[in-house]
Amino acid sequence: MFKSMFDKLKKGLQKTKKNLIPFRGKIDESLFEDIEIALLKADVGVKATEEILDFLRKESKKRKIKEGEELKELLKEKLIEILKKCEGKLELGEEKPAVILFLGVNGSGKTTTIGKLAAQFTKEGKSVVLAAADTFRAAAIDQLEVWAERSGARIVKHSQGADPAAVVYDAVNSAKSRGDDIVLVDTAGRLHTKEHLMKELQKIKRTIQKLMPNQPVETILVLDGTIGQNSINQAKTFKEATDVTGIVITKLDGSAKGGALIPICQELCIPIKFIGVGEDIEDLQPFEAKAFVEALLE
């Protein structure tokens, strides 16, 4: 699992090989500049990049580091230290069904993530229900239906334009009475700046809790790995509105590096549950700090 995530990430990164940091040789100011540019290019952001560089400058002096390769190890160490805190696994709990709510802005890959996850769960022999609570986007229900067919999950849907909370109610209620294992709730993509839509999410959550007070066991924010500094705002706002318990970061198999995870992790400490490194079902993989950092710097 580890190897394949790393390989896929690396494959994506090879496309941008010209951006690699020249760690060979002695440390000089231009190496620090190269590191700075590389981090900025990876979407790490100005603030986090400045902090990391400050650390490298001070620490390399303290440790009397002279060689570029050593500095690379130091940088890796630092990045892993930051991201290690955010390694997380999906927690399903004891109660059945386990309800998992998915949120995110438009186009971040919620439906696809749910589809892949549903396929992984059904493969493990679990019975999965998909709640088509994205009643806004034209054909969102169709798209989820295709995933239900592919994965063998059951889908609960209303028509387009229906009240999403009502869909969720039906899905959770029927899963409860039929004894299903997992309910995956697909919500409409929403920009985090739309307050009324954030309120709608809270309503969906309350609806779930009316039926099952301890659910949703996970509230997962799906972030697009190609998004820049705005993903920090996204994570902050969604967390404030709905108490996000985990992050899935998608689209990391291309040349974007998803470095925004670093400030997100530093500032918000939300566990990262999965990363998406490809279009196949098994390309949704657990997040590992070490592999992620290796891929970022290799």
Partner 1 sequence: MFELLTEKFSNVVEKLKRVKKLDEKTIDEALKDIRRALLEADVNVEVVKQFLDDVKQKLVGQEVIKGLNAGETVIKLIYDELLNILGEEAPLEKAEKPPTIIMLVGLQGTGKTTTAGKLAKLLKSKGYAVGVASTDVRRPAAGRQLCTLAESIGVPCFIDESEKDAVKLTEKVIEEAKKSGLSHIILDTAGRLHIDEELMDELAKIKEKVHPTEILYVADAMQGQDAINTAEEFHNRLGLTGVILTKLDGDAKGGIALSVRKVLGVPIKFIGTGEKIEDFEQFHPDRIAQRILGLGDIQTLMEKMQAAIDEDKAQEMAKKVMSAEFTLDDLKEQLQMIRSLGPIENLLKMIPGVGAKIKDLKVDEKQFIKIEAIINSMTPEERANPHIINGSRKRRIARGSGTTIMDVNKLLKQYKEMKKMMKKIKKSGKMKLPFNMPKLPF
Q: How many residues bind partner 1 (CB under 8 A)?
A: 47
Distance CA(102)–CA(218), nearest Å, equals 9
Cβ neighbours of residue 137 closer than 8 Å, sequence gap 6 or more: 106, 188, 189
Q: Which is nearer to partner 1, 92 or 254 (CB)?
A: 254
Among 4, 160, 173, 209, binds partner 1 (CB under 8 A): 160
Is residue 9 at the binding interface for partner 1, with CB under 8 A as the rule? no
Nearest approach, Cβ of 203 to partner 1 (angstroms)? 18
Residue 202 vs 233, nearer CB to partner 1: 233
Interaction residues for partner 1, span 34-73 (CB under 8 A):
37, 40-43, 45-46
**Chosen residue from 120, 127, 143, 209 binding partner 1 by CB under 8 A:** 143
Q: Of the two residues 217 and 277, which places its CB atom closer to partner 1 in the complex?
A: 277
Distance in angstroms (rounded) separating the CA atoms of residues 190 and 187? 9
Contact 101, 131 (CB under 8 A): no
The contacts of residue 126 (CB under 8 Å, 6+ apart) are: 181, 182
Residue whose CB is less far from partner 1, 63 or 194: 194
Q: What is the C-alpha radius of gyration for the chain, rounded to an integer number of angstroms? A: 21
Site string for partner 1, 199-228 (x = CB under 8 A): -------------------------x-xxx
How far is the C-alpha of 65 from the C-alpha of 63, rounded, in Å?
5
Quick one: 257 or 273, whose CB is closer to partner 1? 257
Residues 249-278 touching partner 1, rule: CB under 8 A, are 250-251, 253-257, 260
Buried b / exposed e over 257-294, threshold 16 CB at 10 Å, is bbbbbbbbbbeeebbbbbbbbbeebebbbbbbbebbbb
Which amino acid is residue 27, in one-letter code?
I
Q: Which residues make up the interface to partner 1 (CB under 8 A)?
A: 12, 16, 37, 40-43, 45-46, 105-109, 136-140, 142-143, 145-147, 160, 191-195, 224, 226-231, 233, 250-251, 253-257, 260, 279
